[in-house]
Amino acid sequence: MRVAVFGANGGIGRELLPRLAEADHEPIGVVRDESQFDAVRERGGEPRLGDLEGAFESALEGVDAVVFTAGSGGDTDWGKTLLIDLWGARRTVDACVERGVDRYVMISAFGASEPLGDPEEMRPYWVAKRCADDFLEQSPLEATILRPTALTDDEGTGRIAATFEHREAGEHAIPRADVAATVVACLETDEAVGETIRLFGGDTPIESAIDPDG
């Protein structure tokens, strides 16, 4: 499967590219600047240019699936959050529909489940994520939405706790590496299609957490 990763140079994207390659997929790292091409290649990906605030559609040529793990970052204002986390995400969904790219995995945020929760200062970010999630859910794409809790840069464990939306939740932070491994697992099972899944650190092997009957 040829998988285009938006946010390939971010924390989860850097973990995801080599895992896709190791699983015999063909990762494509979509980045804004050619200066990032070598970093994408070093992680086993094919670099392509794409700007979520500009043109990116050519990066989807020949692609089978998209993973959206881009974000405006914590040092930007809410205007940039709207442009990247909401409008950029929506534009990639529309582009997939137009180009016949059926499979889509969205890296959202745990707070998007209840965007008016605490802390109050995070609400605009969670609302942006939730609106992007809702738009994806209403599209014809074969979508999976992942809502991880607090992220860490710890080494991956290969184990998580996953709760499908509206079921009992956990609370433990999760390594970005395990979120990346979960994306790969979701791409490899139909059980994840149409699901919104909250992710936490846990003790269940990732494949079993995503597809208990697999």
CATH number at residue 42: 3.40.50.720
**Average pLDDT of the residues in 48-61:** 97
Torsion over CA: 89, 93, 94, 100 (sign): positive
User: Over the stretch 56-110, which tens digit does the pLDDT of each residue have?
Assistant: 999 999 999 999 999 877 666 778 899 999 999 999 999 999 999 999 999 999 9
Tally Cβ neighbours within 10 Å of residue 123.
Answer: 16
Is residue 165 assigned to a domain? no
List residues with catalytic annotation.
125
Q: 168: Cβ–Cβ under 8 A, 6 or more apart, which residues?
A: none
Peptide bond into 119 cis (omega under 30): yes
Answer whether 212's CB lies under 8 Å from 173's CB.
Answer: no
Residue 124 CA to residue 152 CA, distance in Å, equals 22
Q: Check whether 170 has a pLDDT greater than 90.
A: no
Is 142 part of any domain? yes
pLDDT at 168 over 60: no
DSSP of 77-134, one letter per residue? -HHHHIIIIIIIHHHHHHHHHHHT--EEEEE--GGGGSTT-SSGGGHHHHHHHHHHHH
213 is a domain residue: no
In a domain, 43, yes or no: yes
- Number of H-type helices and E-type strands within the chain: 7, 11
What per-residue confidence (pLDDT) applies to 39?
97
What is the extent of the structural domain holding 134? 2-149
- Domain contains 94: yes
Whether residue 16 is contained in a domain is answered as yes
Report how many domains make up the chain.
1
